[in-house]
Amino acid sequence: MSIMMKTFTTLTAAAAVLLAASAANAADLRAQSKTIEVPPPPSIFDIAFGAALSSNYLFRGISQSNNEPSVSAYFEPRFNFTPNFQGYVGIAGASIDFPNRAAAEIDLYGGIRPTFGKLALDIGGIYYWYPGGECYDTSNPACTWEWNKYGVATLAKEDASFFEVYGKASLALTDAFSIGGNIYYTDSYVNTGAEGIYYSGVAKYVFPTFANGVGVYVSGEVGYQDLGTTDDFYGYVSLPSYTTWNAGLGFTYKVFTLDLRYSDTDLSKTDCYLITGDFGANDLGQSKWCGATFLAKLSVDLTLDSLK
């Protein structure tokens, strides 16, 4: 009898242990289910918008703001057809200082952004509109005549607007490191009549975010701008092709980004003048718009989803 009682007691204790372990596991699962938050799917419709203040507005290594500060802003409605396929249109503006004295640069753009796992693509077109320009040509009575302090005459069309198509690719090799490539094509670079193709490779590494929410990244780009021959307004000049590069360190906090960057090109000051028509060029026809530059840019970027 005592043997049966001992066996019964042992079985009862074992069952109690199993029930307790099962209850503990169930509690752990419930606790885990409470802490794991599944992110909601992206909204079908969203809007991205933002603004920036920069110490210089560089376009492929060349100053668009006469080496002076520039302000910019953008507004971009987006439509997410699926979680991996987005369509978008946008408008952006920036302050500039062009040879034709255009009032501003207004960019009208649109395209699609499909993603395939770790590969993200961006295919679209962009129209660079420069309203408010004037014609400068000392040999044309219909245009404005202007000479700078060095006695160099300004030569610029009233309209410098042009259109480009582009393709971009970004591949996330790890959660922190990504590489990519870009290509842009236009049949009339800055409306000079010269065909232009721009190729570039980019890389970015994002460090772990600090406990205070500050993020840090490093990034760089190497690009090549291939240019053709201008139209008769500019005298059928063969514009010099060139290489440009930049490297920088960035800091992020919530919706703010501070980007500190070094940029340069292999253009001589003379070739720089041929491309830009810099109204401040010296009497040797040399421009400072394409040289080594340190750039600081503070930007804020938001989406409607992020404000919900």
- The string of pLDDT tens digits covering residues 218-270 is 999 999 999 999 999 999 999 999 999 999 999 999 999 999 999 999 999 99
H/E segment holding residue 297: strand 293-303
Task: Look up the pTM and report it.
Answer: 0.86
Give pLDDT, residue 32. Answer: 54
Give pLDDT, residue 188. Answer: 98
Q: Is the pLDDT of residue 111 over 50?
A: yes
Q: Is the pLDDT of residue 165 over 80?
A: yes
**Core vs surface per residue 167-194: b (16+ CB within 10 A) or e:** ebebebeeeeebebebebbbebbbbbbb
191: left (phi over 0), alpha (psi -120 to 50) or beta: left
Question: Mean pLDDT throughout 14-26?
Answer: 46
Give pLDDT, residue 308. Answer: 80
* pLDDT band for position 28 (cuts 50, 70, 90): low
Q: Is the pLDDT of residue 15 over 60?
A: no
15-19, 144-148, 168-172, 276-280: which has the minimum mean pLDDT? 15-19
Contacts of 67 (CB under 8 A, 6+ apart): 56, 288, 289, 293
Q: Is the pLDDT of residue 18 over 60?
A: no
Whole-number Å distance between alpha carbons of 81 and 192: 38
Read off the pLDDT of residues 65-99 as tens digits, 9 standing for 90 and up. Answer: 999 999 999 999 999 999 999 999 999 999 999 99
* pLDDT band for position 35 (cuts 50, 70, 90): low
- Secondary structure of the chain: what % helix, strand, coil (to 5)? 15, 45, 35
The topology under which CATH files domain 46-307 is Porin (2.40.160)
Read off the pLDDT of residues 209-224 as tens digits, 9 standing for 90 and up. Answer: 999 999 999 999 999 9
Contacts of 289 (CB under 8 A, 6+ apart): 62, 63, 66, 67, 272, 276, 278
Token pair 């040999």: residue: 139
60: left (phi over 0), alpha (psi -120 to 50) or beta: left
Give pLDDT, residue 306. Answer: 86
Token pair 């796992």: residue: 117
